[in-house]
Chains A and B, each alone.
Chain A
Amino acid sequence: MELHNVWFVLIAVLWIGYFFLEGFDFGVGVLTKLLARDRAERRVLINTIGPVWDGNEVWLLTAGGATFAAFPDWYATLFSGFYLPLLLILVCLIVRGVAFEYRHKREEERWQANWERAIFWTSLLPAFLWGVAFANIVRGVAIDADKEYVGGLLDLLNPYALLGGLVTLTLFTFHGAVFAALKTVGEIRVRARALSLRLGAVAAVPAVAFLLWTQALRGDGASLVALAVAGAALLAAIAAIRAGREGWSFALSGVAIAAAVAMLFLALFPRVMPSTLDDAWSLTVTNASSSPYTLTIMTWLAVIATPVVLLYQGWTYWVFRKRIGTQHLADTH
């Protein structure tokens, strides 16, 4: 396989990693309003992702950095083109990170309530906006002969993209609810399970509709397989949580997210950002990629570093494997 194809796959892997991991921590953030009944329960939820959310977010930074290095034109067109949505995502991620670290630093009721509100909104908005962004990438946007985005902000808010946003939001919330059921103990766990079931049903409808639309738009044989896997995994995840198998359900909702993202990338290939003005102006794995020398160095980096990262990040989850409930909360400091 040629190196730019390898890097197309690796970029897809990085985004899959990001949506799998930050997907559930966005979901847990949304659940602080949907599931938790009081401050103690909100704290339990926040603490299920406490030790790991920061590491999860690095998948995004790595995806960004790797796109810059492997496909500079893709990076340039995407981030200058999707300027304002990206700005909103960045603002959310800034506030969200600070909210996790600062919320417990003061006892005052208002201080904590404000940061909790911030956690909810800054989890919900990016969960939605990433779907909008990816749907637009797949659908294609107005890119001219100079590889510049020439559309406006409103062009990005088309029905297909908005449906995409709804899919990521609901799918991540479901994924987060299953995670919460898996990581908590006591009454909140029981409610997390019940809510997962409902959220699963809510997520399934737009997800299937969106993936079928995608298939109609740009699908091929391979993307159809990914679609089938995503749909089956999502249904199996719902069935598993119904049967009380939280671990299985979480793994399956993860597979559903991974397969859905994979489907989008398969539908894209060999383009990375199709142009709606003229397909000749589309960014592709060849006309947007770096030189073979740079890609070779990057490949060595990925081959050596990625397994190590997976190893110690996986180890973190093992260290914090215990379920937590309200009784485990420490006094705030």
Chain B
Amino acid sequence: MDLNLALAPETLARWQFGITTVYHFLFVPLTISLAALTAGLQTAWVRTNKEKYLRATKFWGKLFLINIAMGVVTGIVQEFQFGMNWSDYSRFVGDIFGAPLAFEALIAFFFESTFIGLWIFGWDKLPQKIHLACIWMVALGTTLSAYFILAANSWMQHPVGYRIDEERGRAELTDFWLVLTQDTAVTQFFHTITAAFLVGGAFMVGISAFHLARRKHVPVMRSSLRVGLVTLTVAGLLTAVSGDLLGKVMFKQQPMKMAAAEALWDGEAPAPFSVFAYGDVDAGHNKVAIEIPGLLSFLANDDFDSYVPGINDVNKAEQEKFGPGDYRPNIPVAYWGFRWMIGFGMTSFGIGLLGLWLTRRRFLLPPALRTGEEEVPRLVLFRTKALSPRLTGWYWRIALWTTGFPLIASSWGWIFTEMGRQPWVVYGVLRTSDAVSPGVSQAEVITSMTVFTLLYAVLAVIEVKLLVTYVKAGPPELTEADLDPPTRIGGHDHDADRPMAFSY
């Protein structure tokens, strides 16, 4: 690639968007899932009064807060970046794209940010159930936020409910309800949320395994492990299901993206699923291909013999429709991104499924192998055969090492879906090259990209160190104040000088 292209405003703006968005999305899925999981643990505490659930709530809640802080602040950049680097995009789509963003801010962000403050500082200010409701509100806020922003993104993937105003040179909204409810938005939301819980499940399992392997904080970590394994397995299954649904939608709406994902150069009936491919992008064919016959046809159309168009076919069709040009995305990125997404995600799912089986409870387990609430669960492979301590150690280790796998998967999922749509920013309507800010100089974009990259790198180091410290410290001991929640809003007033339960 020559230097002019590498430093073109479009290239730089795309890199900046990629860096800041992938980084932001490292925190988002964990925030979404940990909010709900922490809320679930706190609900268990309120309902059962078992102290281990309160300790678990405090432990996971703290990790959640360390994480959401980063999610919130990196999200601010997202809100303004469209205007800064993509002003022509903003002018062209603002009539449509702005509305879900405003909905997100006014409905979801206010929810999230206000109730998170109430939750953090509210332990001694709010009655138990109201305090519990606050964390559920946060969880609801994060999920709503995901919905609105995904509806906006879905419109870029598959624009609906709009018309082009030639006079003003922009797209205008004609059906907001359609934008919010089109199948792209619904399936993309389903897939993103289930993947978020895959991230949270793996996070809980990995950290619980770390402590259980050391026989520390056993009652809390035993319960956490179970919550994590169930989450991981159920979410893994649903992520696969929703991924399949989203894939089918994409085969219809963006055949190029899916052909690129499979490095399927020429249409075939039946079309095979590619296990490994190495090809020549310029010549438009694969040199090496290992394939499973018919599977791609099935994934696309639920029919093993159906026709699936290839990259060259779609490229030709788009040239006829939109004029001369290259309508192919970066094929190797799409192909490998798609595979990393599935590979990393499903590995974690497998680890969850295996763990669920190994730690299964009473009804499938002979009495001799059962363990009590205070004990590290025994990993049992067959009816009478427990894993050796060495293999048990390996299971814990693998669970810990793969903690971040679903995060890698979701990052690649986004890189795939966004780069797979190129050269379009709004599919079939607006090209990415027509979307950048004409008035922003190269120097300005390089400055902001450098600043964000360095700042984000420093913050990542700080954040990870802090997480590790708090993970290692384990769940906190409870204090008397923890077990004496207030009965009225505003807190106890019998002692005006009583210290706050929490302060910054």
Tell me the A residues contacting B by CB distance below 8 Å. Answer: 43, 46-47, 50-55, 57-58, 60-62, 64-73, 75-81, 83-84, 86-87, 90-91, 93-95, 97-98, 100-106, 146-150, 290-291, 293-294, 297-298, 301-302, 305-306, 309, 312-313, 316, 318-322, 324, 327-331, 333
Contacting B79 at CB < 8 Å: which of A65, A95, A320? A65
Please, which residue of chain A has its CB at the minimum distance from the CB of B173? A294
Residues of B within 8 A of A318 (CB): 489-490
**Contact at B114–A65, with CB atoms within 8 Å?**
no
Give 1 or 0 for each of B167-201: 1 = CB within 8 Å of chain A CB.
00010111010000000000000000000000000
**B25 near A: Cβ within 8 Å?**
no
B437 → chain A, closest Cβ, in Å? 4
Kindly name the residue among B476, B497, B501 whose own CB sees the greatest number of chain A CB atoms within 10 A.
B497
Residues of A within 8 A of B28 (CB): none
Cα distance, A324 to B121, chains bound together (Å): 13
Contacting B83 at CB < 8 Å: which of A76, A293, A301, A316? A76
**Contact at B69–A97, with CB atoms within 8 Å?**
yes
**Contact at B504–A64, with CB atoms within 8 Å?**
no
Contacting B440 at CB < 8 Å: which of A58, A60, A80, A301? A80
Contacting A51 at CB < 8 Å: which of B107, B121, B170, B451? B121
B415 → chain A, closest Cβ, in Å? 23
B251 → chain A, closest Cβ, in Å? 31
**Contact at B498–A294, with CB atoms within 8 Å?**
no
**B419 near A: Cβ within 8 Å?**
no
Cα distance, A119 to B122, chains bound together (Å): 23
**Contact at A47–B99, with CB atoms within 8 Å?**
no
Give 1 or 0 for each of B67-95: 1 = CB within 8 Å of chain A CB.
00110111011011011110110110111
B285 → chain A, closest Cβ, in Å? 42
Contacting B103 at CB < 8 Å: which of A54, A55, A301, A316? A301
Residues of B within 8 A of A309 (CB): 106, 110, 114
Kindly name the residue among B125, B498, B503 whose own CB sees the greatest number of chain A CB atoms within 10 A.
B503
Residue total for B at the interface (Cβ-Cβ under 8 A): 79
**Contact at A68–B439, with CB atoms within 8 Å?**
no
Residues of B within 8 A of A105 (CB): 66, 466, 469-470
Please, which residue of chain B has its CB at the minimum distance from the CB of A306? B106
B454 → chain A, closest Cβ, in Å? 10
**B288 near A: Cβ within 8 Å?**
no
**Contact at B98–A90, with CB atoms within 8 Å?**
no
Contacting A291 at CB < 8 Å: which of B91, B95, B448? B95
**Contact at B66–A101, with CB atoms within 8 Å?**
yes
The 7 closest A-B pairs by CB, nearest first: A72-B94, A79-B83, A69-B98, A68-B98, A101-B69, A76-B87, A80-B87
**Contact at B105–A66, with CB atoms within 8 Å?**
yes
Please, which residue of chain B has its CB at the minimum distance from the CB of A90? B77
**Contact at A65–B105, with CB atoms within 8 Å?**
yes
**Contact at B490–A322, with CB atoms within 8 Å?**
yes
B245 → chain A, closest Cβ, in Å? 28
Cα distance, A66 to B100, chains bound together (Å): 10
A91 → chain B, closest Cβ, in Å? 6
**B280 near A: Cβ within 8 Å?**
no
Kindly name the residue among A53, A69, A87 whose own CB sees the greatest number of chain B CB atoms within 10 A.
A69
**Contact at B98–A290, with CB atoms within 8 Å?**
yes
**B118 near A: Cβ within 8 Å?**
yes
Residues of B within 8 A of A98 (CB): 69-70, 73, 459, 462
Cα distance, A84 to B101, chains bound together (Å): 23
A38 → chain B, closest Cβ, in Å? 15
**Contact at A102–B466, with CB atoms within 8 Å?**
yes
Contacting A68 at CB < 8 Å: which of B69, B94, B174? B94
Kindly name the residue among B96, B113, B497 whose own CB sees the greatest number of chain A CB atoms within 10 A.
B113
Q: Which of B211-250 contact A (CB under 8 A)?
A: none
A98 → chain B, closest Cβ, in Å? 6
Residues of A within 8 A of B469 (CB): 105-106
**Contact at A293–B504, with CB atoms within 8 Å?**
no
**Contact at B490–A319, with CB atoms within 8 Å?**
yes
**Contact at A65–B101, with CB atoms within 8 Å?**
yes
**B102 near A: Cβ within 8 Å?**
yes
Residues of A within 8 A of B173 (CB): 290-291, 293-294, 297
Residues of B within 8 A of A320 (CB): 121, 125
Contacting B114 at CB < 8 Å: which of A62, A291, A313? A313
Contacting A64 at CB < 8 Å: which of B74, B97, B105, B466? B105
**Contact at A328–B490, with CB atoms within 8 Å?**
no
**Contact at A97–B73, with CB atoms within 8 Å?**
yes
Please, which residue of chain A has its CB at the minimum distance from the CB of B69? A101
Given contacts A97-B73, A98-B459, A148-B439, contact A319 B91 (CB under 8 A): no
**Contact at B117–A55, with CB atoms within 8 Å?**
yes
Q: Which of B465-487 contact A (CB under 8 A)?
A: 466, 469-470, 476
